[in-house]
Structure 1
Amino acid sequence: MFVHQFRFSFKDESTEEQRAEVLAILRRIASVDSVSFGAVGQNLGDPVEGLTHAYFASFEDLNAFERYLYEPVHLEGDPQIVPHFKKLAIGPEMSDDMDPDLNAKVAALHERKMAKYPEWGALMAVVPEMRFV
């Protein structure tokens, strides 16, 4: 099992309608076939962080996660959701697979996606405050 998660807050200028649409898109992404379990909702973490929402998706294995990265719903959804993020904290990822190279394998999957879709990397750069946890 591999679990991908991120927490975020919306830009002040994002309307309630836009926020609702972002959450709907995230729910569609979290329900694609490669995802074993997904959830989108409020972040119950420390409010001082300013991260109001959370996204979780779990996968049977790393192959399922790789399929997820290229799901059409995911590829089409990112350009609609990412511009609304004010803050984005990605991870920490977790897995019950104790492979010591797993973190490097996950990073390699992301690097391949960015090589194939350089616009995806540029898109992520529009988030004012982004960090990997």
Structure 2
Amino acid sequence: MIVNLLRIRFKDGVTVEEQEEVLAVMRRTASLEPVAFGAVGKDFGNPADGFTHSYLAAIPDLEALERYMHDPVHISGDELILNKLEQMSAVRFTDDSDPELGNAVYEIAARKMQQYPDWARRIDELFGAHV
């Protein structure tokens, strides 16, 4: 299983209604066919970290990850989601013992970044932001 956990913080000025819309889009993405299980909700982490919500998607294998990363629902959802966020933090892990799996996962992500440079730039900005 390949697990992606994102912690997020909304931009100042994003209304509660806009936040709910983003969370609904995230839930839709977390329920795509390639996802074995997903969850979206309030983040119980340290408030000093500044993150308010989290997103989790667990994906069974590399083939499913490819489908998930390029699903039109995922791609269109990111357009709305990423513009409302100030910062993201990620934890990515697996229960698979294959020592090369991490490299394969990051190769899939790198190909997507090459294919969608504006998406890649925004992702880099969100992970580079500091509290």
Q: Fold conserved (TM > 0.5)? A: yes
Q: 1:52 to 1:90 in 2, by over 3 A?
A: same
User: Partner residue of 1:118?
Assistant: 117
The answer to whether the 8 A contact 2:89-2:127 is kept is no
User: Partner residue of 1:36?
Assistant: 36
The answer to whether the 8 A contact 2:6-2:56 is kept is yes
The answer to whether the 8 A contact 1:14-1:84 is kept is yes
Aligned-pair distance for 1:109?
0.6
Aligned-pair distance for 1:122?
2.4
CA distances 1:78-132 after superposition (whole Å, capped 9, x unpaired):
01001111121022x111111112221111111100111112112324538548x
User: Partner residue of 2:72?
Assistant: 72
RMSD over equivalenced CA pairs, Å = 1.6
TM-score relative to the length of structure 1: 0.90
User: Partner residue of 1:12?
Assistant: 12
Alignment: residue pair count: 130
Where 1:32 maps in the other structure, the secondary structure is: coil
User: Partner residue of 1:104?
Assistant: 103
User: Partner residue of 1:57?
Assistant: 57
Q: 1:67 to 1:130 in 2, by over 3 A?
A: farther
TM-score relative to the length of structure 2: 0.91
Q: Larger % of helix: which?
A: 2
- The share of aligned pairs that are identical, in percent, is 41
Which segments of 5 or more consecutive residues in structure 2 lack a partner in the other structure?
Answer: none
